[in-house]
Amino acid sequence: MRMVDVIARKRDGGELSTAEINWFVTEFTAGSIPDYQAAALLMAIYLRGMNRRETVDLTLAMAHSGDQLDLHDVAPFVIDKHSSGGVGDKTTLVVQPIVAACGVPVGKMSGRGLGSSGGTLDKMESISGWSCSMDLAQFKRQLAEIGLVLSGQTAVLAPADGKLYALRDVTATVASAPLIAASIMSKKLAAGADAIVLDVKVGSGAFMPTVATARDLAQIMVDIGTDAGRKTVALISDMNQPLGSAVGNALEVKEAIETLQGGGPASFWAHCLDVSAHMLLLAGKADSLEAAQELAEKARADGRAFRKFRDMVEAQGGDVAQIDDPSLLPQARFVEPILAPRSGYIAALDTAAIGWAGVHLGAGRLVKTDRINYGVGFVLPCAVGDYVAFGDSLGTIHADDREQLEQAREEVLTAVTWSNEPVDPLPHIYETITA
Ligand code: URA
């Protein structure tokens, strides 16, 4: 097979055969296909799409590009969740310990920031010493001992995704439903969870702009999971405004800790409660969503969920003093309010622009080698539908550099659309997609 023929077929809107897809994934993972040809194929897929059969083939080829975990020797039933990516999305940090505290082992392979969206591993690495790299034996040991593991992409689990993910991030080929579906589901299948809750984001800060496109993505991921014998549910949730208030790595860890301790923004907690309840329901811990929510509420209220998070941080080498006192987490030098330039209702937020503003402050990467600045970001408690008076604070900017701070202020203010008329608040879940 010749890569140039595969690229040309997709460029011209053709369908790739199962053999071509398997060949591409095997050879690219082995390093025999150069990045420039793989990038050309990714762009052709981005522009031309893939049908259902091609998407399933790509997912399975990527899932089989490395080892397949079987965790049943240490846990009879393991659950996982995955978000399609958003701004301020620190849900994993809260829901995984809640579910683990309710007695359902959670083993998760998380990702790094992608484009304007943040990544769980980058957030967790703002805790000194915390590490996501571990071998299979350690993954299993921690799953058995604590019931909660948060690992990173490894060379042995879905390595094709590790290479393609990094290439997509820098070739403007992230927001493609077949590529997102294959990326997420290949990791989930390889990591061995028996049940998966997918949090598919929709809106101005998500890769899927409309509920219809998010629904298509959610449906194919649920079908792939179900066909592979995993119980799979997808929630289509709002990303037309940052999730919670904090955007930026250490700021988000702090907000997650506050939430685990009973505080945090109410809208963020509502989202965590829904995701946790769906995970507990799939795990058979409750027979209704309401009963599952009660279990999650209890695990937060009696401190078990917070302790589980703390145990996971400690097991993975993190400094628990920063968990007990989040003021010890990295902090930016300058913290300044963003003042409303007029009175009115917030009609819309360009959430991706807020995510990019965070990246420009140093909270994310513009090129693969960029180093993350953990302390910078925003705390934006304002939401669509809020009335704000001229000169009131919309939130705060956390920056290490004055010039970057002023640029971020400008970017956030430009991201706000105002209305003189009242505006309805946004829902947080639009639909639930089941098998
Ligand atoms: N999360 C992933 O793991 N992959 C994507 O492509 C998008 C979000």
Which CATH number covers residue 410?
3.90.1170.30
81 is catalytic: no
Residue 15 lies in a domain: yes
Which residue of the set 161, 238, 311, 350 is catalytic?
161
Co-location of 97 and 245 in the same domain: yes
User: How far is the C-alpha of 94 from the C-alpha of 273, rounded, in Å?
Assistant: 9
Co-location of 312 and 411 in the same domain: no
Residue 177 lies in a domain: yes
Residue 209: its pLDDT value, please? Answer: 94
Which two three-digit tokens encode residue 57? 């083939």
Co-location of 291 and 341 in the same domain: no
CATH number at residue 270: 3.40.1030.10
Q: Given a cut of 90, is residue 181 above it in pLDDT?
A: yes
CATH number at residue 17: 1.20.970.10
Which ligand 1 atom sits nearest the alpha carbon of residue 184? Answer: 3
Co-location of 374 and 315 in the same domain: no
Residue 426 lies in a domain: no
276 is catalytic: no
CA distances from 59 to 5, 27, 36, 266 (A): 21, 15, 21, 36
Distance from residue 344's CA to the centre of ligand 1 (Å): 36
Residue 84 lies in a domain: yes
Residue 111: its pLDDT value, please? Answer: 81
Residue 272 lies in a domain: yes
Sign of the dihedral defined by the CA atoms of residues 410, 412, 415, 418, in that order: negative
User: How far is the C-alpha of 361 from the C-alpha of 205, rounded, in Å?
Assistant: 17
With a 6 Å cutoff on the Cβ, whether 183 touches ligand 1 is yes
Residue 433 lies in a domain: no
110-114, 230-234, 388-392, 411-415: range with lowest mean pLDDT: 110-114
Co-location of 297 and 214 in the same domain: yes
Q: Given a cut of 90, is residue 295 above it in pLDDT?
A: yes
Q: What's the whole-number mean pLDDT along residues 104-114?
A: 87
The residue whose CB lies within 8 Å of the most ligand 1 atoms, and thus the one to mutate among 45, 114, 174, 213, is 114
The percentage of residues in the chain with a pLDDT greater than 70, rounded to a whole number, is 99
Phi, psi of 222 (to 5 degrees): -65, -40
Judged by DSSP in three states, 346 sits in: strand
Residue 166 lies in a domain: yes
Residue type for position 409:
R
Which ligand 1 atom sits nearest the alpha carbon of residue 84? Answer: 8
In angstroms, how far is CA 244 from the centroid of its own chain? 14
Co-location of 153 and 23 in the same domain: no
Residue 169: its pLDDT value, please? Answer: 82
Co-location of 319 and 335 in the same domain: no
Co-location of 19 and 99 in the same domain: no
- Please give the residue that has the higher pLDDT: either 191 or 383: 383
Q: How confident is residue 170, by pLDDT bands cut at 50, 70 and 90?
A: confident
Q: What's the whole-number mean pLDDT along residues 184-212?
A: 95
User: How far is the C-alpha of 315 from the C-alpha of 323, rounded, in Å?
Assistant: 13
Co-location of 151 and 277 in the same domain: yes
Mean model confidence pLDDT for the chain: 95
Residue 117: its pLDDT value, please? Answer: 84
Domain boundary pick from 293, 324, 355 = 324
Q: Given a cut of 80, is residue 155 above it in pLDDT?
A: no
Which two three-digit tokens encode residue 172? 């403007």
Co-location of 217 and 340 in the same domain: no
Residue 32: its pLDDT value, please? Answer: 97
Q: Given a cut of 90, is residue 43 above it in pLDDT?
A: yes
Co-location of 133 and 117 in the same domain: yes
82 is catalytic: yes
Residue 288 lies in a domain: yes
Q: How confident is residue 367, by pLDDT bands cut at 50, 70 and 90?
A: confident
Co-location of 283 and 405 in the same domain: no
What is the secondary structure of 274-288 as a DSSP string?
HHHHHHHHHTTS-SS
pLDDT digits (tens, 9 = 90+) for 56-97: 999 999 999 998 889 999 999 999 999 999 999 999 999 999
User: How far is the C-alpha of 344 from the C-alpha of 314, rounded, in Å?
Assistant: 46
How many domains in the chain? 3
Q: Whole domain around residue 37: which residue ranges?
A: 3-49
Which ligand 1 atom sits nearest the alpha carbon of residue 168? Answer: 6
Q: What's the whole-number mean pLDDT along residues 299-310?
A: 98
Residue 112: its pLDDT value, please? Answer: 82
Domain boundary pick from 324, 347, 378 = 324
Its pTM stands at: 0.94
